[in-house]
Amino acid sequence: MRDPTGFLGEEYRQLAAADLDWKLRQLEGPSAPRCTIDGHPVLMLCSNNYLGLSNHPRLKEAAIEAVRTRGVGSGSVRPIAGNMDLHVELEKRLARFKGAEASLVFQTGFAANAGLIPQLVGEGDLIVSDELNHGSIIDGVRLARSERAVYRHGDTDDLERVLREAEGRAPAPGRILVITDGVFSMDGDIAPLDRIAAVAADHGAMVYVDDAHGEGVLGEGGRGIVSHYHLPRDRVHVEMGTFSKAFGVVGGHISGSSDLVRFAYNKSRTWLLSGSHPPAVVAACIAAIDVLESEPKHVARLWELTRRFKRAMADLGFDLGSSATPITPVIVGDSATARKLSDRIFELGVFALPIVFPMVAKDKARLRTIMNAALTDDDLEFAIATFRKAGRELRLI
């Protein structure tokens, strides 16, 4: 009898034979600059925990207190019985932090994109997407019943061309949604959101930005890419983000008009049909906003270390691509070399994973490093010295 699940093992074996399968490493203990991976003490240099908040005392205390007073679960989805006072407080605090009319918290950033994008457009409408947008955006676009078009990465002239051509067709699209990452996670470059918003406004298009890697990093006090460009709120209609990175916890969210939020929680099935965050998570997210508002030193430290690391790595001769953020790719070329470099620095005590084809182009394999505000000066010097040693051994510099 034919095994209907035989393709599962076969496809995995093909990935493994091509060395394209994920080999999961195990973090033993908290996400911190000095940690233990697979029993090996290392300096963590690839975590999204930009500000070190996942281990911040105020977040931990808030989570513990929420468990004491409200238990470990919400008991339901939010539309039925799981809408706790903490959820409402978090959304009010987030909206105030972002300078928006309203905010809505989703279970994850992926859930926000997958749940909201297909509801904003439908048949006869058009989504225009940057060619390097995150996979969660791509999946959200695929779920929509609208037409789709792609513009060259970060190229607003090409965006203008795509919009102009779409409007010249008969029939012209109805609603148009322009969507982009704020910070692109593989290269660390920043979307030209000011110019994107201007082009979109000229064509009456909505603008949706996924700022997962910009929050806590860009803008005044880490308020994100809209703040970074000093854009009026009505120029960016959906500002999506996540608590899973610089905020140090977990969860997705959107900010914008009150109409947007009411629309989203009535139409997004990922929000409607998923259990709400447990009290500890929500309380920790509120505490993360408190820390960002009252302790600006974390964002300042992140950028100080980022500038020093980029300068030292460039001086050594490493190719850092077009990064303008704490995401700093160390581009080495082919996938085998990227894996060798990652393995060697791990042996020397630094953890940064290789990013290889098909996640990036075949000749653009790299180690994606991410700076962390909790690193000490000694940690930074150790990281640089490790790359210097491994880079010279592999004749990369």
Identify the band that residue 238 occupies on the pLDDT scale cut at 50, 70 and 90: very high
- Dist CA 81 CA 188 (whole Å): 40
Average pLDDT over every residue of 191-200: 98
* Residue 40 reports pLDDT greater than 80: yes
Average pLDDT over every residue of 362-375: 94
Q: For residue 115, what pLDDT is reported?
A: 97
Q: For residue 268, what pLDDT is reported?
A: 97
Length of the chain: 397
* Residue 20 reports pLDDT greater than 90: no
Domain positions in the chain are: 26-55+296-393, 57-294
* Residue 289 reports pLDDT greater than 80: yes
Sign of CA dihedral 276, 279, 281, 287: positive
Identify the band that residue 21 occupies on the pLDDT scale cut at 50, 70 and 90: confident
Tokens encoding 384: 């640089």
- Dist CA 143 CA 136 (whole Å): 11
Give the CA-trace dihedral at 356, 361, 367, 373, to 10 degrees: -120
CATH number of the domain located at residue range(s) 57-294 in this protein: 3.40.640.10
Q: What is the CA radius of gyration of the chain?
A: 22
Cβ atoms within 10 A of the Cβ of 16, count? 11
Identify the band that residue 112 occupies on the pLDDT scale cut at 50, 70 and 90: very high
User: Catalytic annotation on 245?
Assistant: yes
Identify the band that residue 19 occupies on the pLDDT scale cut at 50, 70 and 90: confident
Task: Tell me which of 87, 213, 253, 277 is the catalytic residue.
Answer: 213
User: Catalytic annotation on 213?
Assistant: yes
Q: For residue 16, what pLDDT is reported?
A: 87
Average pLDDT over every residue of 64-77: 97
CA distances from 248 to 69, 162, 279, 327 (A): 22, 38, 16, 16
* Cβ neighbours for 48, distance < 8 A, ≥ 6 positions apart: 213, 244, 245, 246, 370
- In Å, the largest CA–CA distance within the chain is 65
**How much is the mean pLDDT over the chain?**
96
Task: Tell me which of 136, 185, 244, 335 is the catalytic residue.
Answer: 185
Pairing of strands 102-106, 126-130: unpaired
User: Catalytic annotation on 60?
Assistant: no
Q: For residue 384, what pLDDT is reported?
A: 98
Identify the band that residue 193 occupies on the pLDDT scale cut at 50, 70 and 90: very high
The string of pLDDT tens digits covering residues 297-353 is: 999 999 999 999 999 999 999 999 999 999 999 999 988 899 999 999 999 999 999
Cis previous bond, 358, omega within 30: yes
Task: Tell me which of 237, 245, 253, 310 is the catalytic residue.
Answer: 245
* Residue 93 reports pLDDT greater than 80: yes
CA distances from 341 to 166, 246, 369 (A): 45, 27, 12
2.30.110.10, 3.40.50.460, 3.90.1150.10, 3.50.50.60: which CATH number matches 26-55+296-393?
A: 3.90.1150.10
Q: What is the pTM of this model?
A: 0.95
**Among the listed residues 387, 222, 379, the one whose alpha carbon sits nearest the alpha carbon of residue 320:** 387
* Residue 170 reports pLDDT greater than 80: no
Using CB atoms within 10 A of its CB, is residue 126 exposed (0-12), middle (13-18) or buried (19+)? Answer: buried
